[in-house]
Amino acid sequence: MEPELSSIVPQPPDKSKIWIIWKVAIILGIVTGLEFVVALQLPENFSAFKIWIFIGMTFIKAGYIIGEFMHLAHEQKTLMWTIMIPTVFVLWLIAALFIQADSIYNAIY
Amino acid sequence: MENSVSIKSDQNSLWQGGVEPFKASYGKLMMWFFLISDAFTFSAFLIAYGVIRYRHPAFEGMVDNFSFSQVYWPIPEKVFDAAPLLHGVELPLVFVGIMTFILILSSVTMVLAVEAGHRMDRAGVEKWMIWTIIGGVAFLSCQAWEWSHFIDGTDDGSKLLDGSIFYGANLEINQYGPPNFAAFFFFITGFHGFHVFSGIAINFLIFYQATVGILERRGHYEMVEKTGLYWHFVDLVWVFVFTFFYLI
């Protein structure tokens, strides 16, 4: 049975839920803003330190997007780990290829 | 049948069927699995970029003295320092920052569309979906400008190793640095841009279905959630591209 269209009444919005969405948006905006400050204001001799700040901030943003916007933090824990655990293979790829790149660099220069 | 092994039929067992261990629908799970594979593809792109970058020498001097050369890898903020209508003004990373904000905002409107869908609020879904689509189109337009600026090059161009002056970039040669720099720019932002494009197409399809009442007759707005997962993923990838291609 298809529901009668006229019988569907939208429920009123839940203010607290919508506030959480905007709160996450504000956090993402602030972190991106901070990245700019770090990129353009910190003195140059901090470049290695800068890279780790950028990577840390990226993972903060990724955590909010995946956890809140994609709702993964509120799904079943089994589902969450099924999605998250395979990404460790990326770490292996990073390690393998960067060791390779180091060898190529040393062979050329 | 006294000797046969009797299988205990336990309604609560995971293996008897009829239970949902993940409490998620088939379509949503498949979207997640697709997104994992897509995440691997983008990881491979970005890691390959990192590897090729670090097999080239870096620029040694101070950032202010930087000039384009094919000998070392360029500093991204010196390459991406232009903005539309502000010719000749140095605005490092400003335009790409605006693009990032646009994409994050369109992700926010997508969550609001999903939230409206949970409440069976058709008008709300339509409103927020159309804002999401506008955000996506705005992002793609910005990217089109950035590509055309990158391809056209700067006023002065730069001197190649053979002494000739070259302006802009193509897949074989570019004024900014080693040939691979432009190749990676085109492949990584191009692959992401194509994801944005297909995301807009899918969003429009779902927007249309919501508008004509297909989703309402179905009794739920789960399609909005599924396309939302894809759209957030596109935003997520951009967060990584922004860091690893533009900032570092």
pLDDT for the residue B65: 83
Partner-chain contact A35 B119, CB within 8 Å: no
Residue B224 token pair: 């909005």
Predicted local confidence at residue B198, as pLDDT: 97
In terms of pTM, does the model score above 0.80?
yes
What is the interface pTM, i.e. ipTM, of the complex? 0.89
pLDDT for res A54? 92
Q: Which of B31, B60, B111 to mutate to test the interface with A (most CBs of A within 10 A)?
A: B111
What pLDDT was estimated at residue A21? 94
pLDDT at A95: 92
Residues of A in contact with B219 (CB under 8 A): 2-3
Q: Which of B22, B111, B217 lies at the smallest CB-CB distance from A69?
A: B111
With vertex at residue B49, the alpha carbon angle to CA B43 and CA B51, rounded to the nearest 5 degrees, is 100
Q: How far apart are CA B230 and CA A33, in angstroms?
A: 25
* A103 interface with B at CB cutoff 8 Å: no
Please report, in tens digits, the pLDDT of each residue of chain A (109 residues total). Answer: 455 556 678 888 888 999 999 999 999 999 999 998 888 887 766 678 888 999 999 999 999 999 999 999 999 999 999 999 999 999 999 999 989 888 888 888 8
Q: What is the DSSP letter of B31?
A: H
The confidence score (pLDDT) of residue B162 equals 85
Domains of chain B: 23-56+64-247 (1.20.120.80)
Residues A41-50: tens digit of each pLDDT: 877 666 788 8
Residue B3: its pLDDT value, please?
A: 60
Q: Both tokens of residue B34?
A: 């697709």
Query: Comparing C-alpha atoms, which of B154, B159, B112 is closest to residue B132?
Result: B112
pLDDT mean by block of 10 residues, chain B; 248 residues: 54 72 90 96 95 87 84 90 85 91 95 95 95 97 95 88 89 92 96 97 97 93 96 96 92
Measuring CA to CA, which residue among A75, A62, A65 is closest to residue B106? Answer: A65
